[in-house]
Amino acid sequence: LTHEVRIDPLDRSTKCPAGQSILESCLRDDIWLPHSCTQGTCGSCKVRVLSGEVDHRDSSEYTLTPEERAAGIALGCQATPVSGLVLEPVEQVDADDGVPRHPLRDHTGTVVVLDDIARDIRRLVVELDEPMSFNPGQYAEIAVPGTGVARQYSMANPPSETTRLEFHVRRTPGGIATDGWMFAGLSVGERVELKGPLGDFGMPVAQEDPAILIAGGTGLAPLKSIVRHALAHDLAPELHLYHGGRSRQDLYDVEFFEELARQHPNFGYRPCLSEEDWDGANGLVTDVVLADFQSCRGLSAYLCGPPGMIEAGVKALKRRRMAPRKIHREEFLDAS
Ligand code: FAD
Ligand code: FES
């Protein structure tokens, strides 16, 4: 059973299979709709139902208020059609923004690297059977075998590497995907199932502003993809990468970024430690950025990591007069 879903302003339609979200059906049909988390927490995928009926499924009152529901708004990443639908995205879609879009696809692959690279952090590299096109900063959803659940992990490799996906995974105590699988039973040689690409974080096209990139923990993953892609294609005049951890045990890929900085005079790399004195930058990553930049006017920023770090980072950048629309962020929220 499928239902026809028409996206009014784009004049495009998709046949949405029963049980599939409106967003997923659109992305699989190469119809781009705004979205970020795909798990009902960010609210960026809201659509207005102009005609027809949806099942809101797990949409929480926190992301979709009862008033919004009553006004015919739905979360594209959660809602499924129960009849034919006509919709429009709440956030406007600029079809001519020059950003390449890639359809969502199912993939299979083999684990070729699974290394401990820092405290509670593993590098997972999956060799795909078929190439995946994506923008730097996007993520894939990896299925956890035998559980029926899937979790999001950002690609750390640049889009030029289409069949070898690198992920940085932090262990969540008690977590199904991490503690229960990637840090437990998973090993090199195993087959995995995933789908991608997803998300709208990143720097897919050239920009005139110098960029500050701020990572907490494995928030480094999408920023590594962005940095490698941006340097290879000369996308920004300057890139300043900050990576925050508590102590040296939390840092990884230090030599990789130091070497990149030696090769590219317009790329700066600052690892920051908040709980260990060392000869590098000391303090919370956002405080180090505050100390380094007296004004952020005319700059843009890309932040990725835990919600607390993002909140502190956005506050710091606004204090330094960065325009809010130039602050791009990806929060590693878990589904709980
Ligand atoms: P979960 O099982 O989801 O557990 C999450 C939390 O809930 C934990 O604190 C756990 O202790 C708690 N919990 C679990 N079960 C219960 C219960 N029954 N009762 C109470 N509490 C419970 N992470 C990365 O490391 N790298 C990335 O590149 C990355 N990219 C992401 C990109 C996006 C867009 C998003 C949204 C998230 C990303 N994440 C990333 C986070 C990742 O997707 C997972 O959320 C994370 O790995 C935890 O998954 P898990 O299954 O191990 O934990
Ligand atoms: Fe749907 Fe985040 S709530 S993409």
Average pLDDT score over the chain: 96
For a mutational test of ligand 2's pocket, the pick from 21, 27, 44, i.e. the residue with the most ligand atoms closer than 8 A to its C-beta, is 44
Start-end ranges of CATH 2.40.30.10 in the chain? 105-198
> What's the CATH number for 2-89?
3.10.20.30
Q: Which residues contact 277 (CB under 8 A, 6 or more apart)?
A: none
ipTM score above 0.90: yes
Measure the CA–CA gap between 117 and 167, rounded to whole angstroms: 12
Residue 336 above 60 pLDDT?
no
Measure the CA–CA gap between 271 and 281, rounded to whole angstroms: 7
Q: Which residues line ligand 2 (CB under 6 A)?
A: 35-38, 40-45, 63, 75, 77
> Which two tokens mark 277?
């004195």
Measure the CA–CA gap between 126 and 240, rounded to whole angstroms: 28
What does the pLDDT look like over 144-192, one tens digit per residue? 999 999 999 999 999 999 999 999 999 999 999 999 999 998 999 999 9
For CA atoms 231, 233, 238, 243, give the dihedral sign.
Answer: negative
> What's the CATH number for 211-331?
3.40.50.80
Start-end ranges of CATH 3.40.50.80 in the chain? 211-331
Ligand 2 atom closest to 63 (CA)? 3
Give 3-state DSSP helix, strand, coil % of the chain, rounded to 5.
20, 35, 45
Calculate Rg over the CA atoms of the chain.
20
Label residue 334 by pLDDT band (50, 70, 90). Answer: low
pTM: 0.96
Label residue 95 by pLDDT band (50, 70, 90). Answer: confident
Q: Which residues contact 65 (CB under 8 A, 6 or more apart)?
A: none
pLDDT at 210: 97
Is domain 105-198 classified as CATH 3.40.50.2300?
Answer: no
